[in-house]
Structure 1
Amino acid sequence: MGVANFDAFYRKNASFYGDRPALSLRYFLDKFEVRGGGRGLDLACGQGRNAFYLASKGYSMFGIDESSEAIAKLGELADTQRLDVSGKVVNLTELEIESQQYDIIIAYTALDHVSADEGERLAREMMKGLAPGGYLFAAVFMVDDPGCCGKGGGVSETAAYIRHYYQPGELREQFRQLEPLAYQEEFALDISHSWPHHHSMARLFARKPLH
């Protein structure tokens, strides 16, 4: 995943991906009237922009990332903002999630930073870790993204760290055991970091059945 380079990105910028949470995450939480509360897990959390938003909604958030710089910054921000957010440096390929422990699990561009096989294993861990009725939010880059195989101009500076670009419908199929609440695929402008550039992304918001 290029941890050393991600450390450098985070070291140079106190808020590499910005301070605001992913707009799609906010939208889904509002649309489906998710009240918050309980435990939450943020995979590849970075400096915590999504984790802190979920904490502000009442979740006790735990973030994991392979970058020690990111986790250090997350800890500093948690102290400053006095929100219930903590984190740990963990390799995603080695992650095991406790069964039925989390009320929400998010993976915003995490599954695509590992190989296809490792992503399948990680998806199973996420589904295992959700409590009945818990929510899952995942977003991945797709095969027509400009970063795939170096295609197109204005590619993000972190495009080289994507290990698996998803096919249409693949993310939804990966979590077929869950109840899909919303699924979207789009090609959109990203101005959250570096220069303006475009991404092709798939996003899924789903819920674990109660039974």
Structure 2
Amino acid sequence: MSLPDWNARFSETEFAYGTEPNSFLAKNAHLLVDPVLSIAEGEGRNAVFLATQGLRVHAVDGSDVGLAKAAKLAANSGVSISTEVADLNDFQPEPQTYGGVVSIFAHLPNSIRDSLYPLLVQSLKPGGILILEAYSENQRDRGTGGPGELDLLMTCTKIERELPGLETILLQETQREVVEGKYHTGVASVIQFIGKKLG
């Protein structure tokens, strides 16, 4: 399975996916409750946006280079975020800690999702919200962003199976124009999910 060298990608002067937040997240950020965990945060565009909305954000990524850019972006935006360099294969978020969990284009193999996703659900406080957007399996041959391996791409069925314990607020596959830096640009097929922790 071929995955990007994230440190190399984030070492480029420009921001690989831009500095503006993901539009699906921005539209639904009002649903999130403090504090928020953002996984695969990369260079910080989403975490910094959420911080500007008054939320405390903990940004986790496997790339120290990306998170260093995230911290600088936060400082330049007049906000602060906490960061943690972690391999999501081993990441263990504290249970019942977060009012929100954010997963934006965090394309992970099933072997990692199987262990990580239940931990993300457990990390939510009762009533907490999880917001996820990912490229769908139908995105594979479009050439407008995302990985080429089906295992890394999502479907509504995968979401329903892999994120139990959440009440579905929104779950859909849709096509939309994605404009997020040079690696995510063009009409894309995406899975969008918003879930609420039961209890």
- Could you say which TM-score interval applies, normalised by the shorter chain? 0.7 to 0.9
Structure 1 counterpart of 2:41:
45
Residue deviations 1:95-125 (CA, integer Å, cap 9, x gap): 1110100111101122x32x21321211101
Asked if the contact 1:14/1:73 (under 8 Å) is kept, the reply is: no
Q: CA RMSD in A?
A: 2.2
| More moved, 42-51 vs 173-182 | 173-182
Say which SS state the counterpart of residue 50 (structure 1) adopts: helix
- 1:98 corresponds in structure 2 to 94
Query: Where in structure 2 are the equivalents of 1:18-29 lying within 5 Å?
Result: 18-29=18-29
More off after superposition, 46-55 vs 76-85: 76-85
Q: Which residue pairs with 2:113 in the alignment?
A: 119
How far residue 94 of structure 1 moved from its aligned partner, in angstroms, is: 0.6
Q: What TM-score comes out, normalization by structure 1 length? A: 0.83
In structure 2, distance between residues paired with 1:189 and 1:78: 26
Distance 2:33 2:144 in 1: 37
The answer on whether the counterparts of 2:113 and 2:162 sit within 8 Å (CA) in structure 1 is: no
Is 1:75 paired with 2:75?
no
- Could you list the per-position Cα deviations for residues 147-206 of structure 1 after superposition, in whole angstroms to 9, with x for gaps in the alignment? x3xx34x343x5358852223432133223111111221123322122743322111111
TM-score (norm 2): 0.88
Report the secondary structure of 2:89's partner residue. helix
Alignment check: 8 A CA contact 1:134 1:208 kept: yes
State the 1:80 CA deviation. 2.5
> What residue is the counterpart of 1:159 in the other structure?
147
Q: Which runs of 5+ in 2 are unaligned?
A: none
Q: Distance in 2 between matches of 1:191 and 1:61?
A: 24
Q: Which residue of 1 aligns with 2:195?
A: 206
**Contact 2:173 2:190 (8 Å CA) reproduced:** yes
Q: Report sequence identity in percent.
A: 21
**3-state SS of 1:94 partner:** coil
Distance 2:149 2:69 in 1: 21
Alpha-carbon distance in 1 for matches of 2:67, 2:150: 20
Matched, 1:194 2:182: yes
Mapped partners of 1:107, 1:162: distance in 2: 18
**Structure 1 residue identity aligned to 2:164:** R
Say if 1:116 and 1:164, in contact at 8 Å, map to a contact too.
yes
Does residue 174 in structure 1 map to residue 162 in structure 2? yes
CA distance in 1, matches of 2:48, 2:150: 24
Aligned position for 1:56: 52
CA contact (8 A) 1:103 1:131 kept: yes
Matched residues, number? 197
Q: Give the letter aligned to residue 17 of structure 1.
A: Y
Q: Which residue of 2 aligns with 1:129?
A: 123
Structure 1 portions without partners, runs of 5+: none
Deviation at 1:127, TM superposition (A): 0.3
CA contact (8 A) 2:62 2:88 kept: yes
Q: Per-residue CA shift, 1:52-108, capped at 9, x if unaligned? A: 111112211110111111011112122232313121211011111101001111011
